[in-house]
Amino acid sequence: MPLEINGKKMRKIVLNSVLILGSLFLLTGCFRRVAPEGFGPTDLEQGLIAYDQGEWESAMKYFNNALEYNPDDTEALFKRGIIFQRLNKTDQAIQSYQQVLRVDRKHYKAHYNLGNLFSFEKGDTVQAVFHYRKFLASSPTHRNAREVRKKLADLTNVPGDKGLKHRDSARGKATRPLMPASTGVLVQPPTMTPLPLPLLTKKPIEMPLPQAAQAPLLMPSHFPQVVCLSGTVGEKQVEGSGFVIGRRGYLLASAHQVERTTRLMARFQDGSSHPATLLSVSEALDLALLQIPLQNVMPLVLDAKPSPPVGEAVVAVGCPFGLSHSATQGIISAPERKLGGKPLLQTDVAINPGSSGGPLMNAKGDVVGIIVGALPEAKGIAFALTSRKARHFLGETFLQIGTLFADAKRYDEAAEALSMSSEFWPNSPRTFNNLGEVFRRTKQFEKAKTAYVRAVSLDPQYADAHYNLGILYDNHLRDRSQAANHYRQYLDLDPDSPDALQVGQWLSAAEAAK
């Protein structure tokens, strides 16, 4: 005889069953490979345990699992780099450390390990110097700092690594170091190719100069200097815009579109595509400097004048929603505004996702701004960073690039980069001082004098430029009167310098020889 259950008991049993099944369903849906602390160690923790025990294969598996859920886990990326390094897989180690730096640019351990890899394994002095200096900047009191300073001295032939220094063969005099740029952070490229400096191909791809480059750009049909940028961040496709600002394939773009992008490509209006390397970014300005292996494309001109007046006609060119080389026309709606700490132009030009980084041009075809974006809930309100700020960013960036080239004794490339810095940043005494020093080292003494004189005319209190002019006149131009004049000015400006005693002796000798 079957058991009989009254209605009340039946409802209770059904309710309990539903609760139990629901709980099991929720647990099944939530219990994934990255276990909460209450259930056991995470993949990262299991990887660290295996790493401490020297079980590299097991540790690597767990670190890879952890990175599937969090691609920006710097601990997993860094430990994976160490494992690759210990297994003598140098390229994979470099790639992993570079991924760490894309997440955390001040990760001093990654800079230290990259410095060692580039120095000892790759023989790449430029990269090694760059990462050793970043390590010292981030962790100057680290126990390995003394060792790194000695290594830098060996790599740059500079005692104590005070910067670029050169012993003059005529009288054994030391020139002042090139002054590094204070802003504009050089970053690693998003590919495995370890080159944060400009790429110089042996057989550059050549594109004929556009004949219509001087024609007004107000709604033309062809934009040979504008590029559509594409790449990936994880599994997400990223698109943006940019444009050519230098004949050696230099591009200006928006930092937020390309900063963490891998497999970055630049596509021109004619359909040609080229891999792009990230050289430098400014998060504050949302700007990025890229380079592609393409030469002889006429660059767009960044307007150096003050902000355009309200009502001036402008055109924006970009790749909104991946639509190649779309142009929209409008006017300057408001003068320069301070928004988010950046000087921005307001315009009514139509802007959409993917337009960021494209040029905002006037009727002459000069770039007056770099597209930033539009207010999401407004119509006809878009913003562009002023060209003046972009020029400053490029000036400081090329100053830093030129200084790194000079560190590596690649003087032709250093002179080119510093000359570009002077074009974008004509009021920088540091740029002209460094350019003068590069010319002096390549025995172009008249050019060196012109550059040094420009530096002191921009800043008469610039002691280092007076020091360099003194040595140039003393050793190379044989003008002891001018040498004495600049030695004296140097001592007046920097009497407590460690070089003051030596300069005083040179001054006495120069005055006695007059």
Give me the active site residues, please: 256, 286, 356
What letter would DSSP give residue 235? T
Compute the distance between CA of residue 441 and CA of residue 363 in angstroms, rounded to an integer. 43
* Helix or strand (DSSP H, E) at 158: none
What the block records as the tokens of 441 is 């080292």
Phi, psi for 461 (deg, rounded to 5): -90, 10
User: Could you identify the residue written with the tokens 């002891």?
Assistant: 480
Cα distance between residue 482 and residue 486, in whole Å = 6
Helices 125-138, 145-156: inter-axial angle, 10-degree rounding: 150
Specify the 3-state DSSP secondary structure of 350.
Answer: coil
Q: Which residues contact 2 (CB under 8 A, 6 or more apart)?
A: none
* 3 state DSSP class of 175: coil
Encode burial over 461-481: b for 16+ CB neighbours within 10 A, e otherwise: ebbbbbbbbbbbbbbbeeebe
| Pairwise CA distance, residues 25 & 418, whole Å | 65
Which of 424, 481, 482 has the alpha carbon at shortest distance from 456? 482
- Which amino acid, 119? S
The gap between the terminal CA atoms of the chain, to the nearest Å, is 131
From the list 277, 121, 87, the residue with the least C-alpha distance to 192 is 277
| C-alpha distances in Å from residue 419, one per residue of 162, 239, 432 | 23, 32, 8
Assess contact for 325 and 228: CB atoms under 8 A.
yes
Asked whether 235 and 254 are in contact (CB, 8 A), the reply is no
CB within 8 A of 3, min separation 6: which ones?
none
Which is nearest to 434 in space by CA: 165, 153, 196?
Answer: 165
